[in-house]
């Protein structure tokens, strides 16, 4: 009886020092050859396949679920944002209709309401990052078209003693409050003339 962990053409991720992603090109008695997307060929000892963690995306099925995370501002219409995210997935030809894409509200974050769009593809050999990129670009276009705002981190700063802060800045620059006042006074006099 023979047990075959990997066959030629399998799409696998091997987690060793970091992560290696690619296609199994030639398994043999001592190692397998993993061709990566950037043209490298990794020779991985079979022991690593047995003792390490291997994710084989095509062992029993080519279906894989992908996800895209997106944050929207608290002022945005969340129902609309979630519908538009699903519409964006539907606009990408490689994304399957069944199981259908879905968008979940994941978290109320510090600066954003965080959503997760989940979708399925059946051809991971054609790449996964390019599908996610295409979906994100569609989300960008739809959100901008419908005024759904992408937030950016914002902080409110309250100064308890603004005069002391101003004095510290002036001292650091070599100016004084008096010289600043006289400069402002002569500027106002010049305007009134």
Q: Which domains are seen in the chain, by residue range?
A: 11-56 (2.30.30), 64-145 (3.30.70.100)
Q: Is the pLDDT of residue 191 over 70?
A: no
125-175: pLDDT as tens digits: 788 889 999 999 999 999 999 999 999 877 778 888 888 888 887 777 776
Give the CA distances from residue 60 to residues 11, 64, 133, in Å, rounded to whole numbers and listed in that order.
11, 11, 26
pTM over 0.75: no
Report DSSP letters for 91-103, one per residue: TSTTB-SSSPPEE
The confidence score (pLDDT) of residue 46 equals: 78
To the nearest 10°, the Cα dihedral for 79, 84, 86, 91? Answer: 170
The larger pLDDT score, comparing residue 45 to residue 66, is at: 66
Q: Taking Cα atoms as reference points, which of 137, 91, 99, 139 lies closest to residue 121?
A: 99
73-119: pLDDT as tens digits: 999 999 999 999 999 999 999 999 999 999 999 999 988 999 999 99
The confidence score (pLDDT) of residue 165 equals: 81
The confidence score (pLDDT) of residue 53 equals: 72
């Amino acid at each position: 009886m023979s047990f075959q962990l990997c066959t030629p053409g399998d799409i696998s991720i091997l987690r060793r020092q970091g992560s290696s992603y690619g296609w199994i090109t030639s398994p043999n008695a001592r190692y397998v050859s993993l061709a990566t997307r950037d043209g490298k060929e990794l020779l991985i000892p079979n022991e690593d396949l047995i003792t390490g963690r291997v994710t084989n995306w095509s062992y029993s099925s080519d279906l894989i679920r992908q996800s895209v995370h997106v944050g929207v501002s608290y002022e945005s219409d969340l129902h609309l944002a979630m519908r538009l995210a699903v519409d964006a997935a539907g606009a990408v030809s490689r994304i399957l209709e069944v199981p259908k894409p879905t968008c979940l509200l994941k978290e109320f974050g510090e600066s954003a309401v965080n959503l997760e769009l989940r979708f399925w593809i059946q051809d991971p050999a054609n790449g996964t990052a390019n599908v996610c990129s295409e979906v994100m670009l569609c989300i960008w276009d739809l959100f901008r078209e419908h005024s759904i705002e992408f937030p950016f981190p914002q902080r409110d700063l309250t100064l308890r003693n603004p005069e002391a802060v101003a004095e510290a800045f002036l001292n650091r620059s070599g100016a004084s409050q008096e010289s600043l006042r006289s400069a402002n006074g002569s500027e106002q006099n010049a305007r009134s003339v």
